[in-house]
Amino acid sequence: MKIAVVGATGLVGTKMLQVLAERNFPVTELIPVASPKSIGKEIDFKGKKFKVVSVEDAIKQKPDIALFSAGGSASLEQAPLFAQAGTTVVDNSSAWRMDPTKKLVVPEVNANVLTADDKIIANPNCSTIQMVVALKPLHDRYKIKRVVVSTYQSVTGTGVKAVDQLFNERKGIDGPKAYPYTIDLNVLPQIDVFTENGYTKEEMKMVKETNKIMGDDSIRVTATTVRIPVMGGHSESVNIEFENDFDLAEVRELLSAAPGVVVVDDTANLKYPMPLDAHDKDEVFVGRIRRDESQDKTLNCWIVADNLRKGAATNAVQIAEYLVANHLVGQAVEA
């Protein structure tokens, strides 16, 4: 497999390279791509050095798969150029997610929708990914009516500038700001810009993307997304109302058996998921599983995952793995 990573020098692009190496993805040729200022720089991959090239040079090399993490505007412009060359693009930005002609994929939930004709595949929002991985087995068994989610999201979701802001503030250094307010020892109830309905774009992403990935527009979702001064991963408090009643022991069994899910739920011994424990792991961790005593057929749980891995890089690589395993890439290039 000839693989391009577009945005290879960014937080998510760097993590994509790490995940490709760790999972022994069959990379026969790596093509790192980044902005013009990074062209010519060298990156390490599995002990070898690779020079960063331009988008134009990468397209000429006709990679089988291009993993994109270069931002929405770059993706809108460049992904179709790769697709025209026969490359299958897995894009991590929000550019294509709600395009009705593009698939929005979390492999544990809906990889079966993919075909060889899908040349631009959207990677969902980080906070949506971890939630639907846990929701899927419960929806299949009990049918979800409504989800109320509040998120507690890591500064790594914003990027390097936000990480620098947090640590600068912690050290008393006045530096560039990624946020309009102090993030250290603070909580910001805003992720992305506000829309006309009073929700932020991040909140509306969780609503719309959940419906699209689950393939069920009847699931009602409401979200409040919050930035907190942590590293390692995003956390979510999720309240799920079902059409059918459930047994708590069976809920734990379903989640324990679900692909990509690890149940950490032993409150007697103070065991529950935390971002520190999820850091650099690919699984989605679920705990604090309990019945909502204020409403019938309703469950509360706590979901944690590393937003740079399962929330971005790992999910993209898993999509690529599915494409390879099911012989859905390479045909256009060979033709």
Binding residues for substrate: 153, 227
CB distance 235 to 302 below 8 Å: yes
Sign of CA dihedral 87, 21, 153, 192: negative
Active site residue 234: yes
In order, the DSSP letters of 154-203 are -GGGT-HHHHHHHHHHHHT-----SSSS--TT--BS--S-B-TTS-BHHH
Rounded CA gap, 39 and 9, in Å? 10
Q: Which residues are annotated as a binding site for phosphate?
A: 97
Catalytic: which of 139, 234, 279, 301? 234
Catalytic: which of 126, 139, 279, 301? 126
Rounded CA gap, 250 and 242, in Å? 14
In order, the DSSP letters of 266-301 are BGGGTB---HHHHTT--SEEEEEEEE-TTSTTEEEE
Rounded CA gap, 48 and 277, in Å? 31
Q: Which residues are annotated as a binding site?
A: 9-12, 37-38, 97, 153, 227, 307
Active site residue 301: no
Place of tokens 């397209």: 59
Sequence-distant (6+) residues with CB within 8 A of 78 are 6, 55, 68, 70
Active site members: 126, 234
